[in-house]
Structure 1
Amino acid sequence: MATKQRGRPRSFDRETALEQAMRAFWEHGYDAVSIADLTQVMEIKAPSLYAAFGDKRTLFEEAVEAYVRSYGVFTADALAEAPTARDAANRILHEAAVSHTLPGLPRGCMIISAATNCTEQSSDVVEALQERRNASIASMERRIAADVAAGVLPPETDARALAVYTGAVLQGMSQQARDGADRATLEAVADFAMQAWPREGAGETSSDAG
């Protein structure tokens, strides 16, 4: 006797639906996107959305993870792979100029912009994205501090201030992209921002003296 199939097969592709939800959150922000909006862009009904993704908050977190994997991983990669903090910052800012202006996608960075206009009821969403941004700045600060300790950067370099500065430039580039700035403009901004960084090797002369 044939076994009875349990449940009904999903009539949609989960990854495609998640991509559409991610784009909606990325373009409009968490609070501005309703369940009705999500079911429309994902082309599924509300019961299917809840069954596959849970509630809106859970879907948003999964959408953020999908964004990081597909469009935001360059920050972590640069911090892990670049030989120096300065190289990492330069790579991050220039790759952001590309990522923030990809054709056919929402402008800017989802991690930066998706919770800018949230209400008090969505404070957990705001805090979660703040934690992600602060974690990136902390990683940059550690890379800078290590280069200062190794004599790669001058001993008077303020690792915290330089890391926050770089994060602020990155956030400003995201907003400029949303306001219409093109890739070339953002790359020029990145070039200017890197002029504020101390030059590598400036800390080596004092350790070599005597």
Structure 2
Amino acid sequence: MRLFWRQGYAATSIAELTAAMGINPPSLYGAFGDKERLFLEAVERYQRSADAAAEQILAEAPTARAAIENLLRSVAEQFTCPDQPSGCMVVTAVMNCPDAEGHLKEVMARIRAASAGRILNRIRDAIATGELPADTDADALGAFFDTVLQGMTIQARDGASRASLCAIAACAMRAWPDRRAASAKPTEDRP
């Protein structure tokens, strides 16, 4: 998993995989069938952990704003953890795959869409409960924060520090709609 995470699918060779796992190629093929199946199992393992952490953060926060902010801060920490490759495996692992592996890109896109869906659902809940204004564009706001998360991955891969990613998170949170401002109606000028 860490090898695919660090190097990506296309750049990781069977020789590197078997060396990292301490097995020979026939054992790899016997256990997983091929490199692609091993990759998909590695992604599944990665995603189980990432999904559990994100779901817990989004569910436990008292407000949607706190949930999104906690998620951004958490990924800033995770993406810069010195004990693992930087960034998010699901965002980066197939970026440079040739078109022949296009179906892997589709798999990863579905996983990213599910993650974005969790953010969107938390925002929709906030609209339904009145935490956010009724006219909030949930789709756009959800896509914005998902884009920030994916951008933080690229920044982390390029060597951004935890402090830098936290600063990005703080800037992103300034885009959170203010319920009071949205509910205040402008007064009309009277002649």
Indicate yes or no: 2:154 matched with 1:175. yes
Question: Offset of 1:80 from its aligned partner?
Answer: 3.0
CA–CA separation in structure 2 for the residues paired with 1:71 and 1:78: 11
| Contact 2:51-2:115 within 8 A present in 1 as well | no
Q: What is the match of residue 43 of structure 2?
A: 64
| CA distance, structure 1, for counterparts of residue 47 and residue 12 of structure 2 | 20
| Cα displacement string for residues 54-76 of structure 1 (whole angstroms, at most 9, x for unaligned residues) | 32111111111221234553222
* Paired residue total: 185
- What is the CA-CA distance between 1:191 and the residue it aligns to? 0.8
Instruction: Give runs of aligned pairs for residues 75-90 of structure 1, distance below 5 A.
Output: 75-90=54-69
Residue 202 (structure 1) shift = 6.3
- Residue 42 (structure 1) aligned with residue 8 (structure 2): no
Q: Is the 8 A contact 1:148 1:203 kept in 2?
A: no
What does the per-residue CA deviation read over 1:41-61, in whole Å, with 9 as the maximum and x for residues that have no partner?
A: 212101111222232111111
Q: Percent identity?
A: 48
Which residue in 2 is equivalent to 1:116? Answer: 95
Over aligned residues, Cα RMSD in angstroms? 1.9
Determine the C-alpha separation between the residues in 2 that align with 1:149 and 1:70.
29
* Gap runs ≥5 in structure 1: 1-21
In structure 2, relative to structure 1, the CA distance for the partners of 1:173 and 1:182 (3 Å cut) is: same
d(CA) in 2 for partners of 1:80, 1:151: 17
Letter in 2 for 1:186: L
- Residues 126-141 of structure 1 mapped to structure 2, 5 A cutoff: 126-141=105-120
Please point out which of 194, 197, 203 is paired with 2:173: 194
How much has 1:199 moved relative to structure 2?
3.3
Of residues 117-126 and 52-61 in structure 1, the stretch that sits farther from structure 2 once superposed is 52-61
TM-score by length of 1: 0.81
Alpha-carbon distance, 1:81 to partner: 2.8
1-side partners of 2:120 and 2:8: how far apart?
28
Q: Which runs of 4+ in 1 moved over 6 A?
A: 201-206
Aligned partners of 1:29, 1:200: CA distance in 2, in Å? 42
SS in 2 for 1:25: helix
Q: CA deviation at 1:95?
A: 0.3
Does the Cα contact within 8 Å between 2:54 and 2:71 map onto a contact in 1?
yes
**How is 1:12-51 mapped onto 2 (pairs within 5 angstroms)?**
22-51=1-30
Deviations 1:169-199 (CA, angstroms, capped at 9, x unpaired): 0011110011010111111111111110113
* C-alpha distance in 2 between matches for 1:103 and 1:72: 21
Of 78, 89, 92, the match for 1:99:
78
Please, what TM-score do these two structures have when normalized by structure 2?
0.89
Which runs of 5 or more residues in structure 2 are unaligned? 186-191
Aligned pair in 2 of structure 1 residues 171, 163: CA closer, same or farther (>3 Å)? same
| Contact map agreement 1:153 1:201 (CA 8 A) in 2 | no
Q: Contact 1:100/1:108 (CA < 8 Å) preserved in 2? A: yes
Partner in structure 2 of residue 8 of structure 1: none
